[in-house]
């Protein structure tokens, strides 16, 4: 996280959790490699079971991260529907159900002043690419509480 919590933009908004990305995942991956090497060098039921457990741990870690991101996206979707309802003109409020999850998640970073204009453009142009939508944002609203 940046030391100045208000400064965030497209280039630095991705969340990296050092203990997860740089410690837990590499250790779990190394464990898989090591158990496979042991299984190949000394095949046994014990070595096979150790390999299965090692792979299962990686799967559990990846699913746990995926579950957290899915819940985060659901919360963002709700938040964005409420923001759009409060900030957009009536004709655009009626179009809120047209937004996809990807569009809403990308628009999350738009400041209140530019959100209605960007939202209309995203719907009218049928934009789905999160990166393209995020790159259109001029007044980035920081979000330092993401999973």
**HEC-encoded secondary structure of 18-65:** HHHHHHHHHHHHHHHHHHHHHHHHCCCHHHHHHHHHHHHHHHHHHHHH
In a domain, 21, yes or no: yes
pLDDT above 60 (res 13) = yes
The answer to whether 58 and 29 have CB atoms below 8 angstroms apart is yes
144 vs 138: CA distance, rounded Å: 18
In a domain, 22, yes or no: yes
pLDDT above 90 (res 74) = yes
Number of domains in the chain: 1
Q: Which of 3-17, 33-47, 63-77, 94-108 has the lowest mean pLDDT?
A: 3-17
Average pLDDT over residues 112-127: 96
In a domain, 104, yes or no: yes
Two tokens at 25?
A: 């995942």
The answer to whether 7 and 17 have CB atoms below 8 angstroms apart is no
The Cβ of residue 43 has, within 10 Å, a number of other Cβ atoms equal to 10
Predicted confidence band of residue 5 (pLDDT cuts 50, 70, 90): low
Average pLDDT over residues 55-75: 95
Q: Which bin fits 121, alpha (ψ -120 to 50), beta or left (φ > 0)?
A: alpha
In a domain, 2, yes or no: no
Which residues form the domain of 90? Answer: 17-136
In a domain, 43, yes or no: yes
Output the CA angle 115-117-121, nearest 5 degrees: 110
In a domain, 94, yes or no: yes
Q: Which bin fits 126, alpha (ψ -120 to 50), beta or left (φ > 0)?
A: left
pLDDT above 70 (res 107) = yes
Average pLDDT over residues 123-138: 94
DSSP 3-state of 16:
coil
In a domain, 80, yes or no: yes
For residue range 29-48, list pLDDT tens digits in order. 999 999 999 999 999 999 99
In a domain, 5, yes or no: no
22 vs 58: CA distance, rounded Å: 14
CA distances from 65 to 17, 44, 75, 82, 145 (A): 11, 32, 16, 26, 15
């Amino acid at each position: 996280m940046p030391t100045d919590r208000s400064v965030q933009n497209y280039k630095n908004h991705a969340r990296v959790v050092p203990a997860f990305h740089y410690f837990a995942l590499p250790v779990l991956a190394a464990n898989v490699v090591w158990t496979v090497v042991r299984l190949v060098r000394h095949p046994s039921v014990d070595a096979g079971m150790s390999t299965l457990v090692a792979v299962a741990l990686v799967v559990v870690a990846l699913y746990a991260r995926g579950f957290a991101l899915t819940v985060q996206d659901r919360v963002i979707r709700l938040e964005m529907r409420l923001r759009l309802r409060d900030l957009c003109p009536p004709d655009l409020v009626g179009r809120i159900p047209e937004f996809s999850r990807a569009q809403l998640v990308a628009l999350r970073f738009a400041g209140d002043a530019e959100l209605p204009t960007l939202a209309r453009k995203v719907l009218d142009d049928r934009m789905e690419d999160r990166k393209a939508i995020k790159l259109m944002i001029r007044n980035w609203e920081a979000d330092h509480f993401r999973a």
